[in-house]
Amino acid sequence: MQFLISMYINPAVLDALTEEEKAAIGAGHGRFLEALKASGELITTQALVDPSQAAVVSVRNGQPVVTDGPFLEFKEFLGGFYLVDCESRERAIELAAQIPDTTIEGLGVEVRQVMFADGQLEA
């Protein structure tokens, strides 16, 4: 079963962390990634640029209209994700609980099963 573990971050919450806390989060992600690779559960992981760099595209009367900035105007936004292949929903939740973000109030870690997949996954 494949699951997307999404990490919702809040810049205000991150800014309030000490340098040590930030370093601990980075190290925690590093350890999590190595463990996922070794167990054969990692499909891929990616982190996204700041939402201020996003562009919203729509097409009106056949013409694309581009607006700079994110689509959703929330304090929290999608910072990145892990795509994993594991035994069960319980295991996916167990994995998500190892992500350091889960210990910090104001950051969100969400688990959802994949329903359809296509395309190349080879790294």
Partner 1 sequence: MTAPGVEDLLRELTPQVLGVLVRRYGQFEGCEDAVQEAVLAATVGWPAEGVPDNPRGWLVTVASRRLIDEMRSDHARREREAATAHEVTPEDVPDTDDSLVLLFLCCHPTLTAASQTALTLRAVGGLTTAEIARAFLVPEATMAARISRAKQRIRSAGSSFRLPEGAEREERLRVVLQVLYLIFNEGYTASSGGRLHRPDLAREAIRLTRMVHSQLPEDGEVTGLLALMLLTHARRRARTTLAGDLVPLDEQDRTTWDREMIDEGTELVKASLAGPALGPYQLQAAIAATHADAATAEQTNWPQIHALYLILERIAPNPVVTLNRAIALAETEGPTAGLALLSTLDADERMAGFHRLLSVRAHLREKVGDTAGAHRDYRRAAKATASLAEQRYLESRARRLR
Q: State how far Cα 18 lies from the chain centre.
A: 22
Radius of gyration of the chain measured on its C-alpha atoms: 17
Residues 76-105 close enough to bind partner 1 by CB under 8 A? 85-87
Block residue for tokens 């929290």:
76
- Nearer to partner 1 (CB atom), residue 40 or residue 62: 40
Residues that bind partner 1 (rule: CB under 8 A) add up to a total of: 22
CB 83 within 8 A of CB 2: yes
Count of C-beta atoms within a 10 Å radius of residue 42? 20
Q: Which residue, 49 or 115, is less far from partner 1 as judged by CB?
A: 115
Q: In terms of DSSP H, where are the helices of 1-123?
A: 11-15, 19-39, 89-96
Report which DSSP code applies to 85.
E
Site map (CB under 8 A) of partner 1, residues 17-36, x = contact = --------------------
Residue closer to partner 1, measured from CB, 18 or 116: 116
Kindly report the backbone phi and psi dihedral angles of residue 115, in degrees, each rounded to the nearest multiple of 5, phi listed first.
-110, -30
Closer by beta carbon to partner 1, 21 or else 85: 85
In whole angstroms, how close is the CB of 5 to partner 1 at the nearest point?
15
Site for partner 1 in 30-69 (CB under 8 A): 37-44
Applying CB under 8 A, the residues found at the interface with partner 1 are 1-2, 37-44, 85-87, 113-118, 121-123
